[in-house]
Amino acid sequence: MSAVSRFPVANPMVIFREELDEWAVLFDPDANETFALDPTSVFIWKLLDGKHCKEDILTKLNEACNDTPEDAPQHLDEFLEELAGKSLIGVEK
Amino acid sequence: MTTKNQQEIQIPECGYTLNTIYFYLTEGCNLKCRHCWIAPKFQSEDAEWPSLDFELFKDIVRQGKALGMRSVKLTGGEPLIHPDIDKILDYICEQDLQVTVETNGLKCTPEIAEKIAKGKNPFVSISLDGSEAAEHEWVRGVEGCFEAALEGVRNLVKVGIRPQLIMSVMKRNAHQLESIVRLAEKENVESVKYNLVTPTARGEQMHEQGETLSIEELVKLGEWVENTLQPSTKIRLQYSHPNAFKPLSKMFSRPQGKCGIFGIIGVLGSGKYALCGIGETVQKLVFGHAGTDKLADIWNNNKILHDIREGLPKKLNGICGDCLLKEECLGSCIAMNYYTHHDLFAPYWYCAEAAKAGIFPKTRIRPGSQYEKVI
Ligand code: SF4
């Protein structure tokens, strides 16, 4: 398991491109790998600026959606772990 | 050396399970479609063409199962004009194989429909190139084939199979993309797939004669199908443009038909093994003959199959090499790419034309690519 930073920050090398349907393409030039982000993941990705902690992100998510599921914190943890596992966000050493 | 997975299926030496065999059962066809990428000979009462020997078919199936095969696709030519189609369908059922049938529907009688329905998870697609006889028959070249195809659809629906309609889109029928959906709703089919006429065999002539749509028109139609037509119906619509032109939401929210090139081999009506039906027109993509060669030898040792497994997607060139979706797409159709450029890793015609016209989606191009500049 990767140790996700308290204030997660997106890997600056990763290319983020939003599309018309609010999904986005993430491209990691180092690994030459492409990922697709759904609209919720895009929302979170934009907050991975090293200034927002997980609680901030959850608060913003709650503000933006009327019906955030109860297990949103768990989903957020899993998502950040996944990003960290793929070196798409920084991890705590 | 072999290893075993949990279901005790032996993984072939090459490391790739053979999932499906595409059987191009007949060298002839009872229609004369002007866009056909295989270009079979016309079969009528006056002329009958060879088809795959039933004993050979059984032998290939047995060998395929030993390599992990769990499904077969019957196509052509026209699979339902095979003289032993009854026995073939019974045998597939006995062998507990999933079956897909691609047909023009003319010979899809109530009896044949019953037999297909007895198979494991049958999937049937029927070609219908317009919502009216005039368009369909202009494309297919035989009078009366529109009503006969619809009869085939109804015979399937009666036995509980909701088929897919496949419409090949060209200038002549482009105005019927919507009306075919309404027909599909009325006939209670499962889905409509829009195929694009590819520049292969007879389709190549159509491209040369200006009977196909331009890349700009095709891209626009694709967007319209995804964004406007699809929301107007409960029927699943599938527009066969490559991944670069599909919304991510569509690609990742539902399973997409993906060419399973690493797990497929083709068998032609003559009994030859080939990459797929392209073997009818491209000799280099023929790998041997079922009468003399063992399927396992071909599957494990054929050089072209080996090159494809080694090279895809990393050796793709042109726009495909710089496409961010190449891992998913694998260059769309290797057979067609080879037909056009004699290179297994050449770019797919649709994306190459779009890149040239400056309408390839720029969010899907590798940063720094020469194709970014075209746009
Ligand atoms: S550029 Fe090639 S790999 Fe990318 S979507 Fe088109 S055909 Fe597929």
Q: Which atom of ligand 1 sits closest to the CA of residue B326?
A: 3
Contacts of A23 in chain B (CB under 8 A): 247-249, 252
User: From atom 7 of ligand 1, which residue's Cα is the shortest distance away?
Assistant: B331
The answer to whether the CB atoms of B249 and A34 lie below 8 A apart is: no
Q: Which of A13, A15, A16, A17 to mutate to test the interface with B (most CBs of B within 10 A)?
A: A17
Please report the pLDDT score of residue B1 as a whole number: 40
Long-range contacts of B365-373 (CB under 8 A, 24+ apart): B365/B319, B365/B322, B365/B323, B365/B324, B366/A27, B366/B322, B366/B323, B366/B324, B367/A15, B367/A27, B367/A29, B369/B322, B370/B322, B371/B319, B371/B322
- Cite the DSSP H helix spans in chain B: 54-66, 85-94, 110-118, 133-140, 145-158, 177-187, 202-208, 215-224, 248-253, 295-301, 303-311, 318-321, 326-329, 334-341, 349-356, 370-374
Q: How far is the CA of B347 from the centre of ligand 1 (A)?
A: 7
Q: Min CA distance, A3 vs chain B (Å)?
A: 28
Domain assignment present for residue A71? The answer is yes
Smallest Cβ–Cβ distance between A27 and the set B252, B324, B361 belongs to B324
Q: How far is the CA of B241 from the centre of ligand 1 (A)?
A: 9
Total structural domains in chain A?
A: 1
Domain assignment present for residue A2? The answer is no
DSSP H/E element including A73:
helix A72-85
Closest chain A residue to B361, measured at CA? A19
Please report the pLDDT score of residue B93 as a whole number: 97
Please report the pLDDT score of residue A68 as a whole number: 85
DSSP B27: S
Amino acid, single-letter form, for residue B35: H
Please report the pLDDT score of residue B36 as a whole number: 84
ipTM of the complex in this document: 0.82
Domain assignment present for residue A27? The answer is yes
Question: How far is the C-alpha of A47 from the C-alpha of A53, rounded, in Å?
Answer: 9
The answer to whether the CB atoms of A25 and B367 lie below 8 A apart is: no
- The pTM (predicted TM-score) of the whole model is 0.89
Torsion angle, alpha carbons of A73, A76, A77, A79, to 10: 160
Domain assignment present for residue A93? The answer is no
Please report the pLDDT score of residue B203 as a whole number: 83
Domain assignment present for residue A1? The answer is no
At a CB cut-off of 8 Å and minimum separation 6, what does B214 contact? none
Question: How far is the C-alpha of B57 from the C-alpha of B47, rounded, in Å?
Answer: 23
* Beta bridge pairs of residue B237: B192
Q: How far is the CA of B43 from the centre of ligand 1 (A)?
A: 36
Smallest Cβ–Cβ distance between A21 and the set B248, B327, B366 belongs to B248
Chain A residues whose C-beta sits inside 8 Å of any chain B C-beta: 15, 17-21, 23-25, 27, 29, 33-34, 36, 38
- Which residue positions in chain A have pLDDT lower than 50? none
The answer to whether the CB atoms of A27 and B252 lie below 8 A apart is: no
pLDDT along chain B (375 residues), means of 10: 51 94 93 80 80 97 97 95 97 98 97 97 97 93 94 98 97 97 98 92 85 96 96 96 92 64 96 94 95 98 97 97 94 93 96 96 94 72
Instruction: Please give the full DSSP string across A14-47, using - where no structure is assigned.
Output: SEEEE-TTS-EEEEETTTTEEEEE-HHHHHHHTT
Please report the pLDDT score of residue B80 as a whole number: 97
- CATH number of the CATH domain containing A25: 3.90.930.60
Please report the pLDDT score of residue B2 as a whole number: 40
Provide the residue range defining the domain that includes A39: 8-85
Contacts of A33 in chain B (CB under 8 A): 327
Chain centroid, CA A17 distance in Å: 14
Contacts of A20 in chain B (CB under 8 A): 247
Q: Is the CB of B329 under 6 A from ligand 1?
A: yes
Please report the pLDDT score of residue B253 as a whole number: 67
Q: Which residue has the tokens 């990691």?
A: A28
